[in-house]
Amino acid sequence: MAGTAAMQFEPAVLRNLAFDNGSQQITIGAVKAPLWSAAFAQSADSFTLDNVRFTWGAFTYEAKQVTFSGASVVRREIEGLFSSGSEPFADRLARVSAKQVIVPELKVTQKLGKGTQTILYRNVSINDVVNGKIASTTAETTAIEETGENSPTLISYGKSTITDFDLPSFARVYEAKDASAPLTKIYGAFSIEKIDAATRDGKGSVQIARLSGRDVMIRPIKDSWSSTLTFIEEMSGKDEHSSEEKTRLLQSVADLMNAFDAGLIEATGFTIKSGGKDSNGTGTIARMAYTGANGAKPAEARIEGVEIVDEETRLKVGAVSLTGFSLAPTLNGLKALEGKSLDNLDHAAMRSLIPTLGTLTITDMDIDAPAADDKPTERVRMIVGSMEITADKPRNGIPTNIRFDQRNASLSYPDNTTDELALQLRALGYKSFETSSTLAATWNEATNEIAIKEFSLDGKDMGSVRMTGLIGNVSPDLFNPDEGAASAALLSSKAKSLNIVVENRGLFDRYLEFAAKEQGATPDALRKLYAGATPLVVSSMIGNSENAQMLGKAIARFIEKPGKLTIEAQPKSASGFGVMDYMLASDPKAALEKFKITAKAE
């Protein structure tokens, strides 16, 4: 029994080890190994580190005990890890191999401005470490406390895991200063269960069922992650910043955001609660996800199943996605400033900081809210089937390809509404107002043309208006930051074609019925009256030319039998019709003669 007890005893093999290279500091109170191992060749299959303290930038890690097993480590190798030599810290980590590392409790502290964040991990298990690369890491529970000027926040996690963690590579990237280096995969996957965050005063809380991700990558940045995070922490503790500090802070944040990517990051099961004198509401989000770019497919950020409810308003959104968004123009613009103040930037510099939006898509949005603050009983409900906004292919910060598309947007008013538009629609027999609209235009650099692919408005049971066109002689100077050059390019542009299509699907007929009742006439009588007067009205407005006569007759036929009206206009000059041509014309009627117009009603 005495012999067995002696075999389990762990005497200290080494004491008071320390390593300091300026950016990292490590101290260990003692290295202990089983008695039998310490007695034979000073090598240990298992050993324990007591009172470990590790400082890395703004982070400090503390553990009372760290136990290694399945590690064949010679004493001189342990001493070498903490020697004062010039060997990089990443290379030292690459010499660590063990079957398992157990940390009963790990405390991490970080300064956050004027506050502090403290993280406490319990029962951490690090498995299958080979040359510093960790196959899997698990922590049973995690508790986080943030203190500062604002209300203190408490956060807790359930089980969390990380797989394929390349610790030496992470250390190299974290310390390196090289903005041109490629992304490096740091770990294969991670997951965190049951995240719960709440303020101590009870005014707000957030719960997340699960957070997970895969293929997480980072790259070095100009001033290193270590120095940049330290700088941001210093700036967050200051109440005021100089113009130079503001510029550097913006550069640092943009650089960090552009130095991270992942195959997928996903959070599911959000529940958000807020309470207090100013607000009292709840919100849920089914899923939030970021998917990294893959080949020709751009990166995408996505939110699904949103519902927010407070005392007066309810908002539901099926999904929101953003694809093709890029901070690269902003980052490049900040680099070009070379530390200049943001307070007095010229127009060109400001334009260079505009990021690329890409495509924003919103589907199944439903809003129910009071019509006005002073009329809580009058409620308005707006439903949007889908909305898509594209703004990309920028030139000097201005997108050259834009598209706005809105499908099935409806607006419903209460029965007791006093809104003038709602009352007019009700008079025409519409209980709600449902529309779809599209605007799409793009600039073609090869031909120096802007194509208006579509400009349309469609009302349910009303009708539609659709316009397409082509503008030529649009030089790149239109996007020049110099306002003079841009104005000159605009004046030199010329319209080359215009096509307008109007279709009636009920609005005109309802209007005739309403007007007939107001005037004590029949709809057919009013139709004939309007059709007969149309040619005269058109000629009085644009003259009695052949174009005017053709247009007047086509509109009159459309009024007689509302269906489809098509109007096409093309300049008689091959070079097109420009702003200067209009300004030099004696009157609008003379300008109209510069076009060949065709019109027909079907």
CA angle 94, 96, 98 (to 5 degrees): 135
Q: Could you give the count of Cα atoms lying within 13 Å of 519 in the half-sphere of its Cβ?
A: 14
Cβ atoms of 43 and 74 within 8 Å: the answer is yes
DSSP secondary structure letter of residue 23: S
Cβ atoms of 125 and 138 within 8 Å: the answer is yes
Report residue 245's pLDDT band, with 50, 70 and 90 as the boundaries: confident
Token pair for residue 266?
A: 């996903």
How much of the chain exceeds pLDDT 70, in percent?
91
Q: Token match 């899923």: residue?
A: 287
pLDDT tens per residue, range 394-420: 999 999 999 999 999 998 877 777 778
- What pLDDT shows up at residue 150? 62
pLDDT tens per residue, range 318-348: 999 999 998 888 878 877 777 677 777 788 8
Q: Token match 């007007």: residue?
A: 515
Token pair for residue 437?
A: 């609209």
Token pair for residue 7?
A: 């075999």
Q: How far apart are CA 413 and CA 428, in angstroms?
A: 14
pLDDT tens per residue, range 90-122: 888 888 888 999 999 999 998 776 778 899 999
Q: How far apart are CA 102 and CA 104, in angstroms?
A: 6
Question: Residue length, the chain?
Answer: 602
Torsion angle in degrees (nearest 10) through CA of 541, 542, 545, 547: -120
| CA of residue 233 relative to chain centroid, distance | 24
Report residue 12's pLDDT band, with 50, 70 and 90 as the boundaries: low
Mean pLDDT of 64-73: 85
In this predicted structure, which of 160-169, 192-201, 204-213 has the lowest mean pLDDT?
192-201
- What pLDDT shows up at residue 327? 81
Q: How far apart are CA 335 and CA 179, in angstroms?
A: 11
- What pLDDT shows up at residue 6? 46
Taking Cα atoms as reference points, which of 338, 120, 109, 330 lies closest to residue 233?
Answer: 109
Cβ atoms of 602 and 562 within 8 Å: the answer is no
Q: How far apart are CA 489 and CA 497, in angstroms?
A: 19
Cβ atoms of 97 and 168 within 8 Å: the answer is no
Contacts of 520 (CB under 8 A, 6+ apart): none
Token pair for residue 263?
A: 């195959």
Residue 400, judged by CB atoms within 10 A of its CB (0-12, 13-18, 19+), counts as: buried
Token pair for residue 457?
A: 């408005």
What pairs with residue 182 in β-bridges?
A: none
Q: How far apart are CA 157 and CA 206, in angstroms?
A: 12
CA distances from 263 to 173, 216, 253, 481 (A): 19, 7, 21, 37
Region for 82 from its dihedrals, namely left if φ exceeds 0, alpha if ψ lies in -120 to 50, beta otherwise: alpha
How high does pLDDT run on average in the chain? 86
Q: How far apart are CA 559 and CA 217, in angstroms?
A: 64
Region for 164 from its dihedrals, namely left if φ exceeds 0, alpha if ψ lies in -120 to 50, beta otherwise: left
Q: How far apart are CA 46 and CA 37, in angstroms?
A: 8
Token pair for residue 468?
A: 């397409």
Q: How far apart are CA 49 and CA 28, in angstroms?
A: 7
Q: What is the DSSP string of 87-114?
A: --HHHHHTT--EEEEEEEEEEEEEEETT
Contacts of 521 (CB under 8 A, 6+ apart): none
Mean pLDDT of 4-21: 67
Cβ atoms of 320 and 302 within 8 Å: the answer is yes
Question: Considering the entire predicted model, what is its pTM?
Answer: 0.84
pLDDT tens per residue, range 459-494: 999 999 999 999 999 999 999 999 899 999 998 999
